């Protein structure tokens, strides 16, 4: 980061703190790394960003919203792979009690210590006795898993069980698959979204809001049938060129449908969500000139994923991953299915049912019962496991416990019949766009914050989209007397009583100072009640970004702002 960027960043952070948008959390207690507050203005900003996000996806029509607990039982995250993936193994120097990552200590002695299990690490440490980087002694204590997830106990004492505070919102959508499948009347594709908090006990949170220990995330899981070619209408994006960085590393400028056509993007649904994500980010106020999609290279991609693109946004901290769009295949549903034994599948009806001859081999219980007594059950099981009908009798059959029995023709019953099969169960694939809301908000602020000059003085304004600005409008009487303050008070109150609108009333300081205050936090519209308002019931409306003013009838103002049509008058 060069000096100019760093200095701008300092000024931006000062403003965000001074005006109550983003502040370090618990600061009066000394603060806590990786935790931030959205302050008096930031709280609503965050809420509106999440609202825009939700509406963007729900408008697609085949997506529903879930809300699941953040406290999650151990087995859920074990099944999902998080317990394994999110762990580092730690050991402690017996002499100086300093803790180190076990795999790092073994880098000199082993070609790939990262791949070792807990027990193998302990074994290797005992064999090689690497020196302590701190005190040079070489005796090591137990190896323990240090998890990046926050551990907790659900319940207390004996009845309690282990759990975590969730590291992502996704798992709740997978564990709810059956309910989603029913909700959508068993018809793919469909999706679920969830907006909420996620928690990761990062070793070193850095760069302000970029790496947090508690963060706002918003994820979408879109379930599809892998055998049906996805059909998406890309006409709106045909002529929109995007910066794409495919896994060969060369940035290209091309439209998303063209990249799909040429095979750079490997799946139509992934391409669809990339396009829709670009639209969303643009609506939120991200400068598309500073957005790119970067494809994960093979090694970076989780082993189950077949294609993964990050939306990266460029600002003070360079290129930062803010959205990940991954084709996760059937990994998640299969993992939970395997772990729980519950069927997490969808039914695919065939257009023409299949007629198949089936031959069923089983035991003739009336004969085998008396003949094999306690072994009769095992015999039945072994016979049914045969993949071909025996042709010669008697023959020797091996049972599950290893014992052998002599089978005669009378013990066996075979049945042939014709069955009609109408379809099959399959595990849907999932495309997952996952959004880091805090990172996006940070970049919205960074892109919106404009430093300029006014009469030779530094002047800053926040060019937030009216859809997410924490305050929609400010109402100010030119002077707080002569009746102007009454009209202004009434307008302010009427605006605040308009659904979805929040107004601020400001009567202190000169009018120029008040405009500056409003511009600094990005209030799109400033209404001034002046002497003329007393005569003709009009007021001036000022556009934040152009400083242009027009006169509007006071009683029309709430509706013009509510309907987002004020901009049309300018």
| Binding residues vs RNA (CB under 7 A) | 1, 6, 9-10, 13-14, 17-18, 24, 30-34, 85-86, 88, 114, 148, 200, 202-208, 211, 317, 321, 324, 454-455, 457, 459-460, 478-481, 508-513, 515-517, 519-520, 528, 530-531, 539-540, 542, 547, 549
Smallest gap from Cβ 165 to RNA, in A, equals 16
Give me the residue label for tokens 């505070």.
165
Cβ-based nearer residue to RNA, 204 or 499: 204
User: Does the bond joining 237 to the residue before it have cis omega, within 30 degrees of 0?
Assistant: no
DSSP assignment, residue 383? Answer: H
Q: Would you say 153 or 537 has its CB closer to RNA? A: 537
**Toward RNA, which CB reaches closer, 124 or 519?**
519
- In degrees, rounded to 5, the angle at the alpha carbon of residue 284 between the alpha carbons of residues 279 and 290 is 70
Q: Which residue, 85, 88, 82, is CA-closest to 166?
A: 82
Report in angstroms how near the CB of residue 204 gets to RNA at its nearest. 4
Least gap, CB of 303 to RNA (angstroms): 13
DSSP state of 297: P
Packing angle of the helix pair 437-448, 268-284 (nearest 10 deg): 50
Give the nearest distance from C-beta 263 to RNA in angstroms.
Answer: 25
Contact between 75 and 83 under an 8 Å Cβ cutoff? The reply is no
* Residue carrying structure tokens 């004969």: 367
As measured in angstroms, the least distance from the Cβ of 319 to RNA is: 9
Angstrom distance (rounded) from CA 237 to CA 255: 7
| Neighbouring residues of 128: CB distance < 8 A, sequence distance ≥ 6 | 106, 108, 109, 110
**Which H/E stretch holds residue 430?**
strand 429-436
CB of 182 to RNA, least distance (A): 31
Q: What torsion do the CA atoms of 43, 45, 48, 49 make, to the nearest 10 degrees?
A: -120
Structure token pair of residue 18: 């001074």
33 vs 567, which CB is nearer to RNA?
A: 33
Closer of 362 and 543 to RNA (Cβ)? 543
Which of 173, 265, 276, 272 is CA-nearest to residue 223? Answer: 173
The nearer residue to RNA, 13 or 362, going by C-beta atoms, is 13
- Token pair of 538 as six digits: 């009009």
Smaller CB separation from RNA, 10 or 359: 10
State in angstroms the smallest separation of the CB of 13 from RNA.
7
Report the nearest approach of RNA to the CB of residue 148 (Å). Answer: 6
Q: Specify the residue, 268 or 301, whose C-beta has the smaller distance to RNA.
A: 301
DSSP-derived secondary structure for 477-532: ESSS-TTHHHHHHHHHHHHHTSTT--EEE--SS-HHHHHHHHHHTT-SEEEEE-HH
Minimal distance in Å, beta carbon 395 to RNA? 54
As a whole number of angstroms, the distance between CA 137 and CA 409 comes to: 74
| 458, β-bridge pairs | 453
Q: How far is the CB of 453 from RNA (least distance, A)?
A: 10
Q: Which is nearer to RNA, 345 or 544 (CB)?
A: 544
Alpha carbon dihedral 283, 285, 286, 289, in 10-degree steps, equals 90
Between 225 and 480, name the residue whose CB sits nearer to RNA.
Answer: 480
First to last CA, the chain: 39
């Amino acid at each position: 980061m060069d000096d100019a960027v760093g200095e701008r960043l300092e000024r931006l952070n000062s403003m965000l703190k001074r005006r109550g948008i983003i502040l370090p959390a618990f600061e009066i207690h000394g603060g806590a790394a990786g935790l931030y507050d959205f302050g008096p203005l930031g709280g609503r900003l965050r809420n509106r960003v999440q609202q825009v996000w939700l509406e963007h996806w729900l408008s697609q029509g085949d997506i529903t919203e879930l809300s699941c607990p953040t406290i999650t039982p151990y087995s859920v995250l074990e099944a999902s792979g998080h317990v394994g993936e999110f762990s580092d193994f730690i050991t402690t120097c017996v002499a100086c009690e300093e803790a180190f990552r076990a795999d790092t200590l073994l880098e000199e002695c082993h070609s790939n210590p990262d791949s070792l299990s807990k027990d193998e690490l302990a074994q290797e440490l005992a064999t090689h006795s690497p020196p302590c980087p701190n005190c040079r002694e070489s005796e090591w204590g137990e190896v323990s898993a240090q998890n990046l997830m926050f551990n907790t106990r659900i319940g207390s004492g004996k009845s309690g069980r282990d759990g975590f505070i969730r590291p992502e919102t996704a798992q709740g959508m997978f564990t709810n698959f059956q309910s989603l499948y029913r909700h959508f009347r068993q018809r793919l594709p469909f999706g679920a979204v969830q907006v909420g908090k996620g928690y990761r006990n990062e070793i070193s949170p850095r760069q302000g809001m970029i790496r947090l220990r508690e963060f706002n995330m918003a994820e979408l899981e879109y379930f599809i049938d892998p055998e049906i070619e996805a059909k998406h209408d890309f006409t709106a994006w045909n002529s929109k060129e995007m910066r794409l960085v495919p896994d060969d590393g060369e940035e290209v400028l091309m439209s998303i449908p063209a990249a799909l056509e040429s095979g750079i993007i490997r799946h139509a649904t992934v391409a669809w969500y990339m396009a829709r994500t670009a639209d969303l980010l643009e609506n939120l106020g991200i400068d598309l000139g500073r957005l790119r999609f970067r494809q994960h290279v093979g090694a970076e991609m989780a082993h189950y994923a077949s294609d993964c693109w990050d939306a990266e946004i460029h600002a003070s901290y360079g290129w930062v991953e803010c959205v990940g769009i991954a084709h996760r295949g059937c990994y998640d549903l299969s993992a939970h299915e395997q772990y729980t034994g519950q069927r997490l599948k969808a039914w695919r009806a065939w257009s023409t049912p299949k007629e198949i001859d089936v031959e069923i081999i089983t035991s003739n219980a009336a004969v085998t019962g008396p003949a094999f007594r306690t072994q009769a059950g095992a015999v039945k099981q072994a016979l049914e496991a045969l993949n071909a009908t025996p042709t010669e009798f008697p023959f020797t059959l091996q049972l599950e416990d290893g014992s052998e029995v002599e089978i005669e023709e009378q013990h066996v019953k075979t049945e042939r019949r014709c069955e009609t099969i109408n379809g099959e169960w399959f595990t849907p694939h999932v495309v997952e766009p996952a959004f880091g809301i805090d990172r996006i908000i940070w970049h919205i602020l960074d892109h919106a914050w404009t430093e300029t000059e006014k009469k030779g003085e530094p002047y800053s304004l926040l060019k937030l989209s009216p859809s997410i600005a924490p305050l929609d409008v400010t109402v100010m009487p030119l002077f707080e007397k002569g009746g102007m303050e009454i009209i202004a008070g009434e307008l302010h109150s009427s605006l605040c009583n308009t659904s979805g609108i929040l107004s601020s009333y400001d009567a202190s300081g000169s009018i120029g100072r008040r405009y500056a205050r409003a511009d600094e936090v990005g209030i799109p519209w400033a209404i001034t009640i002046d002497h003329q308002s007393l005569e003709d019931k009009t007021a001036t409306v000022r556009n934040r970004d152009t400083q242009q003013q027009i006169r509007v009838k006071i009683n029309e103002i709430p509706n013009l702002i509510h309907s987002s049509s004020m901009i049309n008058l300018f």
